[in-house]
Amino acid sequence: MATMTEPRSPVDQALDLFVFAPLGLALAVREELPRLIEKGRSRTDPQVALARMVGQLAVGRGQQEAGKALNQLWSRLGGGGPAPAPPAAEPPAASRRPSPGPPSAPSPAQPAPTADELAIPGYNALSAPQVVQRLSGLSPDELDAVGAYEAATRHRQTILGRIAQLRSHGS
């Protein structure tokens, strides 16, 4: 084998460049790759964790702001313009006569009201916090209707719990 001081033949130079150098590089990468990965991970993990946390905060804040904007829009539409008309087959919920006795959930023989029969327009499009905000202005019968509908459909405990609180304070 030739030493470094002797001139190398073009064949040896080609072998070094195209065979031995790539093999040496592959072996070095194989040996060093786990260490390089760990080094990169240790330097970027805190930044990735921080970016993830900031992203989650931004999404949460965005959802809050969107909810506020929707509530404001809904109150402007509901308060500034005419409310959606109730179904023609039944009088508006506010004009119904209260049933005798304390408010209670409908018996199994009574079917749950439909969303259109509720005193809260657009009920199915509202989130639980949006519904809870609108419950305090409802009559006992309207609360019963919302409670029956919620119990028969989505079972949101936030809404059902608030209805129970309002019923206990109202009686």
Q: pLDDT for 21-33, tens place per residue? A: 999 988 888 888 8
Question: At a CB cut-off of 8 Å and minimum separation 6, what does 116 contact?
Answer: 86, 87
pLDDT at site 81:
39
In this prediction, residue 142 carries a pLDDT of 92
pTM above 0.85, yes or no: no
pLDDT of residue 33: 86
What confidence score (pLDDT) does residue 9 get? Answer: 92
Three-class SS state of 109 = coil
Long-range CB pairs of 134-140 (<8 Å, 24+ gap) are 135/159, 135/162, 135/163, 135/166, 136/166, 138/166, 139/93, 139/94, 139/98, 140/98, 140/103, 140/167, 140/170
| Largest distance between two CA atoms of the chain | 113
The tens digit of pLDDT for each residue in 76-106 reads: 776 443 334 334 444 444 444 444 444 444 4
Contacts for 126 with CB less than 8 Å, ≥ 6 apart: 120, 134
Reported as half-sphere exposure (CB side, CA atoms, 13 A), residue 19 has a value of: 6
> 43 or 105: whose pLDDT is higher?
43
Among the ranges given (13-17, 105-109, 115-119, 148-152), the one the predictor scored with the smallest mean pLDDT? 105-109
Across the range 135-145, mean pLDDT stands at 91
The C-alpha atoms of residue 26 and residue 24 are separated, in whole angstroms, by 5
Q: Which helix (H) or strand (E) holds 143?
A: helix 140-152
Does the pLDDT at position 155 exceed 60?
A: yes
Name the pLDDT band for 75 (thresholds 50, 70, 90): confident
Indicate the helix (H) or strand (E) that contains 114: none
SS3 162: helix
Quote the CA–CA distance of 94 and 116 in Å, as a whole number: 14
- Distances, alpha carbon 122 to alpha carbons 24, 37, 78, in Å: 70, 53, 10
Q: What is the pLDDT of residue 14?
A: 92
